[in-house]
Structure 1
Amino acid sequence: MRPTVQDVAKQAGVSLATVDRVLNNRPGVRERTIARVEQAIAALGYVRDLSAANLAKRQAYRFAFVIPQGANSFMRGLEAEIEAVRRHSAHDRTEITIIRVPAFDGPALAAALNGIDPERCSGVAVVATEAPVVRDALARLRRHHVPVVTLVSDFPNVQCDAYVGIDNVAAGRTAARLMGKFLGERSGSILMIAGSMLVRDHVERRMGFEQVIRSDYPHLAVLPVIEARDDSGLVRQHVADSLMARDDVVGIYSMGAGNRGLIEALTGLPHKTQVVIAHELTDHTRRALADGTVDAIIHQDAGHEVRSALRILKARIDRTALLAGQETIRIEIYLNENLS
């Protein structure tokens, strides 16, 4: 027989009213009492009928997803996944708002976060850009007890509820291992292209990549990172200029977006001799992988990330547990041979 709120109250030694306050995040309950109720819930395995509870009190979850605007194919795919969830979320009283901000613009992101009314927002998922004003804006939401998860790119030293995305240091290390294996004994330089060093995912990918190259492949030299702001035109120009200026580039690691420009620059060469590793399987990178312009793609599942962010936010609001491992976003590697 399933445990009830009466069982929880008895196990915790509190009233039904106190259990109700804890379950609904209402004030007036001491921290020690909250801990006792939560321990009773865990011990009994109590699972709340959230649909019935929300319907009874006409509660709706109101979530905001704050993401970069622009031509970044992965971000547009992420937005499409949010839209898909939004279309199917009305039945469980979930409202989702998408807020678009200029990429890599800390003040604009902070202004968007500060524009969120904590009284009308249940939780926030944000693709973070590192800047003091963004840190302060996230701290404001947390002070008002709004759950916050960082999505795709984390913001270190900010007390958010969770980070939802791949381990980007591991992703960079993986790219370096693939690069080293593909190049074998060839020596030379590796061109690195990022969107911006103001986003943690690109910083961590660079860190992981350089760790492995420097420790295990000393015959390869990592060139200074080119920041092209995920702009395909800038990426194309930087790659073309770099390959014209140097004849020792044997590898290219694209850590961000703008890969259409990378592909265009390489397609214009009489002979492509570089090993190329990029991130995110999009229409452009899929075709480039199929025709050999790109050698490997490191990918993350945007749909999994969106659904995971929602599950985590709801769990924080409802004080329910999550399934271990369900929210782990895994690094996926695509080669020409495993394209479906």
Structure 2
Amino acid sequence: MSSKTTLEQIALAAGVSLSTVDRVVNRRGGVSPKAEAKVLEWASRLNLDRRIFRSHLRSLRIAVLMQSPHNPFFRALRDAFTEENVSKADLRMTAFIHYIDVSDPAGTARKIEEIADTYDGLIITCPNDPRLSDALRLHSAKLPIVTLVTDLPNCGRLAYVGADNRQMGRVVGELMGRFLGNEGGEVLIVLGMQRMVGHEEREMGFRTVLRERFPQCRILATLESGEDPATAGEVVAAALIDAPQVRGIYNASAGNMAIARSILAMGLDQHIVMITHELTASRRQLLRDGILDAVIDQNPRLEASRALDILAQHFQRGEIVAGHPHHTPFDIFIRENCPTIEAP
């Protein structure tokens, strides 16, 4: 089939002129987003060679707003987006990372306002703050938004991508209850920020399972680290001084090394069951040393890939998959199935 015939078929099917199709293919501009989406949709339906066709499209700029890579999970997420830029090059979409301070919602709202007119899409992970929801909703009509890892349900987002945080919290509750057994005991919960929807949902799931199935396990307190590792160690140390009888710690965020140091300093490492998230190199070692008992690990590479896939579908550049699952799977690691090296 000749190029001319293919473009004519697309024009006819999409209900636009041949010149409009030509403008989209050759990036000449002057085509509305709605018309461009129609052209791309029918190009896909008519089985045009997508790689050849996409090579003529304008490059889309996708802003990714997330925490600093000082947090190991967000370092892995940063690397995932870098790798996805290469593996998804034919989509003509490039992710650009912007780091935000989760303790400064006003600053993040200003960043959203600053970048809104210079990007084609936005992927964001941030606390659930009305200022951020308002800032995102203001631009959501023209800027497709995907929330990642933790949700902002009222921000006008296109989709949420990430693990089911409430289910993860329930899994931790089941593990904690079984590890502590019939004797049970008092348990501490450590959150990064209560305003992180993901952390709130983890806590809710955890509490629900202990209440339903393990009443012998009593939650003593919920502590907050502000996503600062050193603070996590400090608040746990203070709690253990007041309540050395604590038998379980669920850390839903960062700071596991600092918490481990506090436990070791008090000689409680053989007494306390500790469960956390994300299998980093340091947490792998804590598992092997028996200080951590279990790690719930999500897949940042898959989450980055799926977020970009959803935006690609929005722009008619990817495969349209009905019922695309936005919740990503997670794994449970204990000492016996802990991998010996970082997954590539």
SS at 2:56 equivalent: helix
Aligned partners of 1:159, 1:303: CA distance in 2, in Å? 25
Contact 1:312 1:322 in 2 (8 A): no
Whether the 8 Å CA contact 1:109–1:129 is kept in 2: the answer is no
Deviations 1:305-330 (A, max 9, x none): 11111111111112654446675410
1:277 maps to a residue whose letter is I
The equivalent residue for 2:105 is 106
Structure 1 pair 160–277 and aligned structure 2 pair: CA distance change class (3 A): same
Find the partner of 1:159 among 147, 156, 161. 156
Residue 16 of structure 1 and its aligned partner are, at CA, apart by: 5.8
Does the CA contact (< 8 Å) of 2:124 and 2:146 recur in 1? yes
Q: 1:224, CA displacement in angstroms?
A: 2.8
Aligned to 1:141: 139
Question: How many Å apart are 1:163 and its aligned residue?
Answer: 0.8
> For 2:202, which of 194, 201, 205 is the aligned residue?
205
2:166 equivalent to 1:169: yes
Gaps of 5+ in 1: none
Looking at structure 2, the residues matched to 22 and 91 of structure 1 have their Cα atoms a distance apart, in angstroms, of 16
Gaps of 5+ in 2: 340-344
Cα distance in 1 for partners of 2:48, 2:157 equals 25
After TM superposition, list the pairs within 5 Å mapping 1:28-47 onto structure 2. Answer: 45-47=45-47
- Give the one of 288, 292, 295 matched to 1:294: 292
Q: Is the aligned partner of 1:115 residue 2:114?
A: yes
How many residues were matched structurally? Answer: 331
1:1-340 alignment, distance < 5 Å: 26-27=31-32, 45-57=45-57, 59-69=58-68, 71-86=70-85, 93-118=92-117, 120-143=118-141, 145-272=142-269, 273-318=271-316, 320-323=318-321, 328-340=327-339
Q: How far is 1:156 from its partner?
A: 1.5
Percent identity of equivalent pairs = 31
Report if aligned partners of 1:21, 1:27 keep a CA contact under 8 Å in 2. no
Farther off after superposition, 68-77 or 133-142: 68-77
C-alpha deviation, 1:207, in angstroms: 0.7
In structure 2, what residue type is equivalent to 1:53? F
Alpha-carbon displacement from aligned partner over 1:242-290 (angstroms, at most 9, x marks no partner) = 1121133111100111212112112223242111110111111111011
CA apart distance, 1:48: 4.8
> For 1:307 and 1:20, how far apart are their aligned partners in 2?
30
Give, as a single letter, the amino acid of the residue that structure 2 aligns with 1:333: I
Q: CA offsets, 1:185-223, max 9 Å, x none?
A: 022211000011111100100111111111111111112
Pair 1:28–1:82, CA change in 2 (3 A): closer
The alpha carbon displacement at 1:6 in A equals 5.6
Per-residue Cα deviation, 1:230-251 (whole angstroms, up to 9, x for no partner): 2121111111111121133111
RMSD: 3.2
What is the deviation of 1:294? 0.4
Cα distance change of structure 1 residues 88 and 117 upon mapping to structure 2, 3 Å threshold? same
Structure 1, 329-338 or 73-82: larger mean CA deviation: 73-82
AA aligned to 2:172 is A
Q: What's the CA shift string for 1:148-183, capped at 9, x where partnerless?
A: 101111102222111111000000000000111111
Quote how far apart the aligned CAs of 1:61 are.
Answer: 1.6
Q: Offset at 1:83?
A: 2.7
Query: Alpha carbons of 1:320 and 1:93: their partners in 2 closer, same or farther (altered >3 Å)?
Result: closer
SS of aligned partner of 1:62? strand
TM-score normalised to the size of structure 1?
0.85
SS in 2 for 1:239: helix
